[in-house]
Chain A
């Protein structure tokens, strides 16, 4: 289990990364839609995004200001590569344990 990327290997962050990876390359997702799809409170989502951003796995963009401000989140190439590595390691662990392999649509 120690080979699994600790930044991704947490339920909420795993959901965030998998959700963003479901978008096409070059697409981003608004903070509110991401929150709807993950089911986190805004504060918790910010906390997890901060960890992912610190690792270079996501970037956030803010458009506008005041009540019209829109924050969007995008998976970086590094984040996509990290998810691929995570999936590969997880698949290896499950194979060795004889369990079902993960397949996040790739």
Chain B
């Protein structure tokens, strides 16, 4: 619960400090005021803007290397085989690294509360729920008699589909059309790769999704600059 309180009556150890930015009512010309507005607005927007570049790189590596290693291990296997222990361990280590990078990226949001924070919590809850639902559904498919090839296709495609839907909903929070396009790309990739079968699905996902993540990582600085220019001229 948040109770609205007044700061009136708070202690003020520096009241009357004469110098610098804390000047109480320093004389300021119109040009100086305009310069301060421009500079502070740029600083604030830069500070609040969340970069996904680190997690794009990490997830690109997970998908490209993890799925790629798995494809190399299983593409000639008959009958179909799933991920080998080496590939699974690699993906796990990279996923842990990605989680740490995502945590570092979240520092841009540090101190920002209100509606955006509630939206982020709901969005992350949806991601976790999607992943839990994925593994639960896989159990249900196994219980219903689904064969190993079907389960391998599901294992390879479901995380990519969920990641795509996650980026799609994330894009809605900031009206980020590039991120929305990437989310759709991942969702389409996941569905399309499923038709490559239990062997090919790993290779198709490694290339289309993995390179897609890395492409977004390379593109993001340019998109951020473009967004900045739009803000200045709109």
Which residue on A lies nearest to B13, using beta carbons? A43
Interface string of B16-28 (1 = CB under 8 A from A): 0100011111101
- Interfacial chain A residues near B114, Cβ < 8 Å: 23-24, 26-28, 72, 74
Q: Is the beta-carbon distance between A63 and B2 smaller than 8 angstroms?
A: yes
Q: Is the beta-carbon distance between A54 and B8 smaller than 8 angstroms?
A: yes
- Interfacial chain A residues near B26, Cβ < 8 Å: 10-11
Q: Is the beta-carbon distance between B21 and A11 smaller than 8 angstroms?
A: yes
Q: Is the beta-carbon distance between A24 and B34 smaller than 8 angstroms?
A: no
- Interfacial chain B residues near A23, Cβ < 8 Å: 48, 112, 114, 116
Nearest-CB distance from A43 to chain B (Å)?
3
Interface string of A71-83 (1 = CB under 8 A from B): 1101000000000
Chain B: residues with Cβ within 8 Å of the partner, total of 49
Asked if B85 lies at the interface with its beta carbon under 8 angstroms from chain A, I say no
Asked if B30 lies at the interface with its beta carbon under 8 angstroms from chain A, I say yes
Asked if B113 lies at the interface with its beta carbon under 8 angstroms from chain A, I say yes
Q: Is the beta-carbon distance between A22 and B45 smaller than 8 angstroms?
A: yes
Asked if A40 lies at the interface with its beta carbon under 8 angstroms from chain B, I say yes
Asked if B15 lies at the interface with its beta carbon under 8 angstroms from chain A, I say yes
Docked CA distance A37–B36 (Å):
13
- Interfacial chain B residues near A39, Cβ < 8 Å: 21
Which residue on B lies nearest to A63, using beta carbons? B2
**Among the listed B1, B23, B44, B117, which residue makes an inter-chain contact with A11, where contact means beta carbons less than 8 Å apart?**
B23
Asked if B226 lies at the interface with its beta carbon under 8 angstroms from chain A, I say no
Interface of B is mostly: mixed
Nearest-CB distance from B27 to chain A (Å)?
9
Nearest-CB distance from B38 to chain A (Å)?
6
Nearest-CB distance from A106 to chain B (Å)?
8
Q: Is the beta-carbon distance between A44 and B14 smaller than 8 angstroms?
A: yes
Q: Is the beta-carbon distance between B30 and A99 smaller than 8 angstroms?
A: yes
Q: Is the beta-carbon distance between B34 and A94 smaller than 8 angstroms?
A: yes
Asked if B144 lies at the interface with its beta carbon under 8 angstroms from chain A, I say no
Q: Is the beta-carbon distance between B111 and A30 smaller than 8 angstroms?
A: yes
Assuming the contacts A1-B30, A93-B30, asked whether A61 and B4 have C-beta atoms less than 8 A apart, the reply is yes
Q: Is the beta-carbon distance between A43 and B15 smaller than 8 angstroms?
A: yes
Q: Is the beta-carbon distance between A60 and B110 smaller than 8 angstroms?
A: no
Docked CA distance A26–B43 (Å):
20
Instruction: Choose among B4, B22, B43, B47 the residue with the greatest number of A CB atoms under 10 Å from its CB.
Output: B22
Which residue on A lies nearest to B12, using beta carbons? A43
- Interfacial chain B residues near A71, Cβ < 8 Å: 7
Q: Is the beta-carbon distance between A27 and B115 smaller than 8 angstroms?
A: yes
Q: Is the beta-carbon distance between B30 and A30 smaller than 8 angstroms?
A: no
- Interfacial chain A residues near B21, Cβ < 8 Å: 11-12, 15, 38-40, 44
- Beyond A10-B25, A38-B40, 12 additional contacts (C-beta under 8 Å) are A10-B23, A10-B28, A19-B40, A26-B115, A32-B111, A42-B14, A44-B14, A44-B17, A71-B7, A72-B114, A90-B33, A99-B34
Closest 3 pairs (CB-CB, A-B): A33-B111, A43-B14, A44-B22
14 contacts between A and B (CB under 8 A): A14-B40, A27-B114, A27-B115, A29-B112, A32-B111, A37-B44, A38-B40, A49-B7, A60-B5, A71-B7, A94-B31, A99-B31, A104-B38, A105-B45
